[in-house]
Every structure is written in structure tokens, then in C-alpha cells.
């Protein structure tokens, strides 16, 4: 412990030195504006680049329909490994702004920690790129609003990288979301509905994404551009637990298991309930006190919509017989069990929901909004962000879904926009 004191001292000097970060001017050259090869021709292969090629970003190498041209990471080792993984023939960047300036890239995949998602999405849109962004969409409600505006402003396509609303079996339900949507749309369960997301209904809240309090300042490894890793987040001395696979445990970058899995679990619920254009009006929490840097666990978070629909996140799995969806006229349990006889047979005879654009290349070529885009993505990300704020404040909050502000709670409203550090703004 003792011999760490010198490095601690250094880190604090780093703090002084680096808290203001110089940045050269950067010209945005929208690819759309330049025109160029095959911008619309469906016969052309779409091209992509990935920003952030740690654990999550590497998964994007294989994503369908596009050719990988470039990658970017602030960790040299990550970048080198990922380029090797992709077969070597891709360009590597350490500053994403250089990558965005490349005219031959159609789609930018953003797989960085969430505190970068907002800025990078907006800058990619400004640069004329379509965006494929990891969940959770943004770290704050304010950043999400800005992404929605920017996509509209620059006419770009956006997909959020969770997919249960249009494909794959949805955890404990053992089916895709489609039949659930059909059941709910049919009205057979009645209204309003209560959806419980807990281990009992087949969803595991990953509480191991908790931060550590009081991280020892440590020297930054030479391969990592920590300044750029932090970017818009407030400066905090380096410690390996803060970055890479464990960053989710810190409020500055994400929100623990809720941040990690929240949008994954909640977005399909928002779709099922038909709430893609609104937000809950109230949130109630039950949790231990949260540390202001390190994310902790919680017991229960309850969101209520204006029409009485509720989404309940149960971190304790207290009610062991709780249904997944509960309405006044019927219930659906884990594994699509129901108190309505022959529900599965019945489902097939209900009308199908509106089809969704479910491959991003199709969306990029046809310019039709992707099934999970910036608008509904922002709404489901807002649910997570409302929950995070309520956790931090430890109290119930009322929310105005139109203004997208909390009602009569100044402290909560101060958390809607996290001011950004140094040169970053959105």
C-alpha cells in the first residue's frame, strides 16, 4: 500500500494537468453531402466501421449485411487484437473523429461505454453516417433527446442494438415477443397491464455490475488513452476497475445491471404496451443508499404510465408466483403459461402486428426507420434513466412525458443533463 503513494501523487497531478483537454478544430464533412459511391444503390455493399472494440465491440465484427473497413479504440491493445480478429485488413484509428471523417464509411457502430453513445451518435449523424449503437442508448435523458433531434436534423438512420422486439426468444417467456404483442393488442388481458421483470418471470438482474468505492488512483497503462476514454465524463483518477469490462459499476459511464440489462428487458415491454411515443409519469424505488460514484444494487423499481400501466423491476424476486403480464382479465406467466385456456392456439388467430424493419441494411438502403430506432430507443432508454435518477435520489419522482422533465423536483431535473467535460458538448 505504502509504495503506491507516489503514483497516487502523480495521479493527482495528472488530475490538475489533464482536467482541461485541448482539442484541435475538426471539420465535419457529411458523406451524404459529398455523394459518392453507391450511396443508395442496393447492389452496392454497405460499409461499416466500429468505434470501441473491447468485449462488446468485437461482437459487431460479424454483424450482417456490411463490409468492415475500419475500427477505432482508445486502447492500443484492444485495437490490435480486434484488427487481428477481423482478419487484419481493416484500418485502425485511435481518435473516432478521424474515423468519422472517412468518406467511404456508410455505417458507424458505436460499442463504447454508454457515456460516449450520445456524442458519437450526434457527431456520426453530422458526418453523414448512419448509426448502429449499443444499448443502453444514452447515459442521460438530455443526451437521448439530442440524438433524436440530430437524426432528424441530418436525416440519418439509427438502430439500437437490442433486438427482442423483432427477433429471438425473449428470455423466460420462451417465445419471441410477437405473440405477446398479439395477445396484448387483442385486448384479451384487459387494461391497464402490469409487467413484472424479475428472476421469477425469467429475467436475471445482473447485480454483479457494482462499482467499488474508493478506488486507489493508479498509473494509466501506456496502451490506454485514458483522457479520451473518459471524454465527456468528469475527470476521475485512473483505476483499472473503472474502465473496460467493469465500467458499468460507475454512474459516470453506465448504471450497473439496470444500465446493462435494463433496456434489453424493458424495450420489448414498451413495445408490447404500445408506449413507443411516451414515457412513464411516475417512478418509485426501494433500494439501499447509492454511492455517488459506484453503482449499487436495488430491490424494486416501479414505473407507472398515465393510463395506469406499470412496469415493475423486481431485484429481489420476492413474489415467487408473480405473472409476467397481469391484466384485469388474464395473466401471462413465465414460459407463456396463462390462466386463459389454449392461449397459444388462440394467439395464432389474432391479427399480426405491423411488420418492423429488422435488418439495418434494409433500413439504410430504403431509408425506412429501423424497428428499434432513435425515437422508441430513446423512450426505452429514458425509462432506464428515470430509474437511475430515482435510485440516486432515493425518492419517488413524477415525470412529464411531453416536456421530458421531472415535475417539481429541481434536483432530479439537474440530473437530466450531465454537463460535459472539456471540449465535449452535444
Range 65-124, binding another protein (CB under 8 A): none
Near another protein by CB under 8 A: residue from 318, 328, 335, 407: 318
Q: In this complex, which beta carbon is closest to another protein, that of residue 79 or of residue 157? A: 157
> With contacts defined by CB under 8 A, how many residues of the chain interact with another protein?
86
Q: Do 283 and 397 form a contact (C-beta atoms < 8 A)?
A: yes
Q: Which of 170, 235, 253, 336 binds another protein (CB under 8 A)?
A: 235
| Listed ranges 270-278, 323-331, 371-379, 390-398: which one lies at the site for another protein (CB under 8 A) | 390-398
Query: Which stretch in 89-97, 115-123, 130-138, 213-221 sits in contact with another protein by CB under 8 A?
Result: 213-221
Q: To the nearest whole angstrom, how small is the minimum distance from the Cβ of residue 223 to another protein?
A: 21
Only one of the segments 74-82, 90-98, 107-115, 196-204 lies at the binding site for another protein (rule: CB under 8 A); that segment is: 196-204
Q: How far apart are CA 319 and CA 390, in angstroms?
A: 22
Residue 89: CB minimum distance to another protein, A: 27
Name the residue among 29, 19, 156, 197 with its Cα closest to residue 104: 29
Q: Name which of 138 and 290 has its Cβ closer to another protein.
A: 290
Among 2, 3, 16, 84, binds another protein (CB under 8 A): 16
For another protein, which is the closer residue by CB, 3 or 214?
214
Choices 43-51, 99-107, 113-121, 311-319; region in contact with another protein by CB under 8 A: 311-319
User: Cis before residue 137, ω within 30 degrees of 0?
Assistant: no
Q: Does 337 bind another protein (CB under 8 A)?
A: no
**CB of 267 or CB of 409, closer to another protein:** 409
Contacting residues for 56 by C-beta, under 8 A, at least 6 apart: 111, 134
329 near another protein (CB under 8 A): no
Q: Least CB distance from residue 192 to another protein, whole Å?
A: 21
Q: How far is the CB of 210 from another protein (least distance, A)?
A: 8
364 binds another protein (CB under 8 A): no
Contact (Cβ atoms closer than 8 angstroms) between residue 327 and residue 312: no
Residues of span 124-163 touching another protein by CB under 8 A: 126, 153-155
Q: How far apart are CA 254 and CA 344, in angstroms?
A: 38
The residues that bridge with 314 in the sheet, in sequence order, are 198, 300
Q: Kindly indicate which of the ranges 69-77, 80-88, 113-121, 289-297 contains the residues binding another protein, using the contact rule CB under 8 A.
A: 289-297
Contact window for another protein (CB under 8 A) among 91-99, 262-270, 274-282, 316-324: 316-324
Name 102's Cβ contacts closer than 8 Å, sequence gap at least 6. Answer: 49, 69, 70, 91
Q: Which of 2, 354, 402, 403 binds another protein (CB under 8 A)?
A: 354
Task: Write each residue from 400 to 419 as x if it is in contact with another protein (CB under 8 A), else as -, in one continuous string.
Answer: ---------x-x--xx---x
Residue 282 binds another protein (CB under 8 A): no
Query: Is 423 among the residues that bind another protein (CB under 8 A)?
Result: yes
Amino acid at each position: 500500500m505504502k509504495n503506491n503513494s507516489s503514483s497516487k501523487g502523480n495521479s493527482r497531478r495528472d488530475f490538475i494537468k489533464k482536467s482541461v483537454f485541448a482539442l484541435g478544430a475538426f471539420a465535419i464533412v457529411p458523406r451524404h453531402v459529398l455523394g459518392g459511391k453507391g450511396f443508395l444503390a442496393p447492389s452496392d455493399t454497405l460499409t461499416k466501421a466500429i468505434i470501441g472494440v473491447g468485449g462488446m465491440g468485437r461482437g459487431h465484427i460479424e454483424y450482417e449485411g456490411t463490409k468492415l473497413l475500419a475500427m477505432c479504440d482508445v486502447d492500443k491493445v484492444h485495437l490490435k487484437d480486434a484488427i487481428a480478429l477481423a482478419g487484419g485488413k481493416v484500418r485502425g484509428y485511435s481518435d473516432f473523429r478521424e474515423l468519422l471523417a472517412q468518406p467511404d464509411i456508410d455505417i458507424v457502430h458505436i460499442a463504447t461505454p454508454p457515456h460516449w453513445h450520445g456524442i458519437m451518435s450526434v457527431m456520426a449523424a453530422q458526418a453523414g453516417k448512419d448509426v448502429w449503437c449499443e444499448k443502453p442508448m444514452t447515459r442521460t435523458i438530455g443526451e437521448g433527446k439530442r440524438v433524436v433531434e440530430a437524426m432528424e436534423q441530418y436525416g440519418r438512420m439509427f438502430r439500437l442494438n437490442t433486438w427482442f422486439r423483432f427477433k429471438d426468444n425473449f428470455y423466460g417467456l420462451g417465445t419471441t415477443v410477437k405473440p405477446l404483442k398479439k395477445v396484448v393488442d387483442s385486448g384479451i388481458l384487459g387494461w391497464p397491464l402490469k409487467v413484472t421483470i424479475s428472476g421469477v418471470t425469467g429475467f436475471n438482474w445482473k447485480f454483479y455490475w457494482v462499482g467499488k468505492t474508493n478506488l486507489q488512483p493508479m498509473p494509466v497503462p501506456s496502451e490506454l488513452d485514458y483522457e479520451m476514454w473518459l471524454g465527456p465524463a468528469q475527470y476521475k483518477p485512473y483505476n483499472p476497475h473503472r474502465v473496460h469490462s467493469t465500467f458499468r459499476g460507475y454512474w459516470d459511464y453506465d448504471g450497473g445491471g439496470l444500465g446493462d440489462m435494463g433496456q434489453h428487458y424493458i424495450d420489448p415491454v414498451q413495445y408490447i404496451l404500445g408506449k413507443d411515443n411516451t414515457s412513464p409519469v411516475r417512478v418509485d424505488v426501494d433500494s439501499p443508499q447509492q454511492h455517488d460514484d459506484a453503482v449499487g444494487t436495488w430491490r424494486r423499481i416501479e414505473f407507472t404510465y398515465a393510463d395506469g400501466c406499470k412496469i415493475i423491476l423486481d431485484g429481489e424476486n420476492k413474489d415467487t408466483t408473480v405473472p409476467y403480464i397481469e391484466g384485469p382479465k388474464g395473466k401471462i406467466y413465465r414460459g407463456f403459461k396463462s390462466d386463459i385456456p389454449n392461449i397459444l392456439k388462440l394467439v395464432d388467430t389474432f391479427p399480426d402486428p405491423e411488420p418492423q424493419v429488422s435488418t439495418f441494411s434494409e433500413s439504410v438502403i430504403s431509408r425506412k426507420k429501423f424497428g428499434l430506432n432513435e425515437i422508441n430507443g430513446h423512450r426505452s432508454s429514458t425509462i432506464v434513466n428515470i430509474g437511475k435518477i430515482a435510485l440516486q435520489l432515493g425518492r419517488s419522482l413524477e415525470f412529464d412525458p411531453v416536456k421530458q422533465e421531472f415535475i417539481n423536483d429541481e434536483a432530479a431535473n439537474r440530473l437530466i443533463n450531465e454537463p460535459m467535460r472539456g471540449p465535449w458538448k452535444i
